[in-house]
Amino acid sequence: MTTKNAGIKNFLDGNIFPEDIFTPEDFSDEHKMIAETAEKFVVNEVMPALEKIEKQEFTETVRLMKQAGELGLIGADIPEEEGGLDLGKVSGAIIGEKMALGRSFSITFGGQTGIGVLPIAYFGNQAQKAAYLPDLLSGEKIAAYALTEPSSGTDAMSLKTTAVLSEDGSHYMLNGEKQWITNAAFADIFIVYAKVDGEKMTAFILEKDYEGLATGPEEQKMGLKGSSTRSLILDNVAVPVENVIGQIGRGHIIAFNVLNMGRFKISASALGSSKRAIELAAKYANERKQFGQPLSNFKLIQQKLADMAIQTYANESAIYRTAGAMQKGFEEMQAHGGDYGKTLAGFAVECSINKVMSTEALDFISDEAVQIHGGYGYMAEYEVEAIYRDSRINRIFEGTNEINRVIIAASLLKNEKSKADDQPFENGPLQQEKQTLALMKEYGHSTIQALKQSELADMNEEQEAAAFLADLIIAIYTGESAVLRAEKSLANLGEEQSAQMVDCVKVYVHEKAQWCFVNALNILHHLHHHQESLFHTAGRLMSSTPHNIVERKRRIAARVIAAEKYII
């Protein structure tokens, strides 16, 4: 792969080209093989066991985790020197997407491959890696991540769990309670965060048989009923000093950077669920007849399927753009020496962008899938009912979407550079969309400057402005990813094979430009500077494209209906 790191650090202030980004059309034979392996595992092994898993027969979950480990799916994107297969972040995203078909099982799997394993793999010392990673990567043992507490969810730094060093200096005594811990019922290893001396947030490795460690009853959840979610109770648990991960007082560095990767893995899983919901909805629309014809003949059903496909295309484009950039970043770190924490931190905003975009797209798509099913979509025997319930937690997982929006906006205000030179646009099928994106970037720069000059740059305080700015950035990043992917496809595959992409891009960019104008009106009067110029720029977005959006959506829907699945 030859892509450069075309990430958030320069996508607002630099010109990005199709060859700079990774797309699903760039999948290698190895990527296709790992996709096939993961999909076969889920379809042939996990899905037949879902009924038992949903009844919390956790022996099935444990058995399947061992199978996943044997196939190399758990350690696929872990470096070889740490015991993994070193297949890269693109492969990790592919596996996460395919594993989504496993519903509750995908949560167990994702908890293991992301926030469960990574604290040790990325931040543990050699002795810790040797002691724990072989069994975790093989699936022989299962990990859980214990950060959230009854009084500290998004505000992780306010956790109350304490760690006190023993008089002989051999161990720490941990006391406290963790809440909503995924995999808790059958986890062998717990990554636990506690404060040393009441103030130094630190990460620890705990084993399930440590005296004083216990779990509460299973939580009764809205969805993901087949995953284990319990409290973790720590009552004078003696933890050897050798089980401190990293440095005392640096646990937040581990926690937040691991959560960055967790957010990205959630986005890949949400993408997989979105594709499944489209498949179920399209098949049902073809099968179900009303008024003497299939539902798929009705234009409002077609519009729904088109909107679902458009959101998924933009989402998919952004996710694999990010995966490719992350893979390149990790390769550079390994080649030139570096730090996992700094490398992950460099992609924090992209991870938040993908997490917000993907989880909200899934909620929209699953809702529309239920609507297409009508009353049957509300019945438990139909899979879309489970997808709808299961999807809701994703906007809360790994930091709520609200806090992720604040992260995006605050980072942009802190790191914004000068506006890039104007880029000339050659005539072509996507010229208008590229010009619209350039205008949206200009508006983004102007908004940032207005916030600073109006002394409204504290995004923790000015959260309405933060949400607007974050949504604008998300629209730009996903829109640009969609445009660049389509441009790349046009150059490599031609107009006929790229027709669905082009239609999706034109609709997506046009609708996001409209969104920008309408929502800009709600924030303009809160800014004390540049109101007139901001209004003028926003107004130009309203004339972004005169395309016949209705006809394009009908074409998009026709292809989805014919294929009975998401298709590009």
Q: Cite the active site residues.
A: 398
What are the distances in angstroms from CA 3 to CA 6, 19, 229?
8, 7, 39
All residues at 6 or more sequence positions from 360 whose CB lies less than 8 Å from its CB, including other chains: 395, 401
Amino acid identity of residue 511, one-letter, is E
What are the distances in angstroms from CA 187 to CA 40, 58, 475?
26, 11, 39
Exposure of 221 by Cβ count < 10 A (0-12 exposed, 13-18 middle, 19+ buried)? Answer: middle
What are the distances in angstroms from CA 352 to CA 108, 123, 154, 452?
21, 21, 14, 22
- Mapping DSSP onto H, E and C, the string for 262-318 reads HHHHHHHHHHHHHHHHHHHHHHHHHHCEECCEEHHHCHHHHHHHHHHHHHHHHHHHH
R_g (Cα) of the chain, nearest Å = 24
The three-state secondary structure class of 504 is helix
How far apart CA 232 and CA 221 sit, in angstroms, is 17
Would you say 508 and 39 are in contact if contact means Cβ atoms under 8 Å apart? no
How far apart CA 348 and CA 411 sit, in angstroms, is 9
Closest CA to 271 of 305, 328, 309: 309
The three-state secondary structure class of 238 is strand
Residue 567's CB: how many other CB atoms inside 10 A? 17
CB-hemisphere CA count at 13 Å for 156? 22
424 DSSP 8-state letter: P
Q: Which helix (H) or strand (E) holds 427?
A: none
Would you say 205 and 245 are in contact if contact means Cβ atoms under 8 Å apart? yes
Closest CA to 137 of 227, 77, 57: 77
Exposure of 59 by Cβ count < 10 A (0-12 exposed, 13-18 middle, 19+ buried)? Answer: exposed
How far apart CA 516 and CA 179 sit, in angstroms, is 38
Residue 100's CB: how many other CB atoms inside 10 A? 26
481 is written with which tokens?
A: 């990813």
Q: At CB < 8 A and 24+ separation, what contacts does 78-85 make?
A: 78/117, 78/121, 78/133, 78/137, 79/121, 79/334, 82/121, 82/129, 82/133, 83/129, 83/133, 83/134, 83/137, 84/121, 84/137
Would you say 54 and 104 are in contact if contact means Cβ atoms under 8 Å apart? yes
73 is written with which tokens?
A: 């799916």
